[in-house]
Amino acid sequence: MKVRPLTIDGAWELTPVQHGDERGLFAEVFKGDLLAEVIGHRLDLAQVNLSVSAAGVLRGVHFADVPPGQAKYVTCPSGAILDVIVDIRVGSPTFGTYDTVLLDDVDRRAVYLSEGLGHAFCSLADGSTVTYLCSTGYNPTAEHGINPLDEELGIDWPTSARDGSPLKYELSTKDTAAPGLSEARDSGLLPTYDDVTRYLRTLAT
């Protein structure tokens, strides 16, 4: 498996080696020992989520209070998405920036984002299936969002689906009503870089 750090500290792209023949293919899409070596501790898997999205669906930008936050290992076994990781840690050198990775059923990449980062994606094909290995379970009182179309974030969302057809964005009511980055920061909703750093140190001990 090839590992590439993203431009945001605490996020990585992981590309598996695929072994194929006339019967199909096989790939190791998650390796706990390798991930632990990369992030400095083992992923304590608490919950596995799955979503299926039509082309044009935007989900996110989602994040959780730290501690404990919610680290995610994200793959797209079927279809294609543009996965987006956003640095929402107040005080981070890269606060307010984002990085993207194409996750699809061709290269079968994954992304890992650590606690304190925001996550979003745009589905590029009908039926795009996304799996999330999560370090904590669902906690509605500790989970929040930023509007993925916030102009300050300025995410360059794709305008064409995988088949070349134009995309029409669809958001949930909750994501549409989510605050922008500055509003979330000013209201104290966002984690701080120092708090996240301190918490991650406890996981490495």
Query: What is the rounded radius of gyration, in angstroms, for the C-alpha atoms of the chain?
Result: 17
Fold of the domain built from segment(s) 2-203: Jelly Rolls (2.60.120)
Residue 199 among the catalytic residues: no
pLDDT score at 205: 75
Residue 132 among the catalytic residues: yes
- Identify the active-site residue in 62, 73, 112, 144: 62
Give yes or no for a contact between 83 and 182, defined as CB atoms under 8 angstroms apart.
no
Grouped pLDDT means (10 residues each) for the chain, 205 residues? 97 97 95 97 96 98 97 98 98 98 98 98 98 96 97 98 98 98 97 97 89
Q: Where are the domains of the chain?
A: 2-203
CA atoms within 13 A on the CB side of 204: 12
- Identify the active-site residue in 19, 98, 119, 132: 132
Burial class (CB in 10 A: 0-12, 13-18, 19+), 101: buried
**Which residue from 53, 52, 84 is spatially nearest to 149, judged by alpha carbons?**
84
pTM for the full predicted model: 0.95
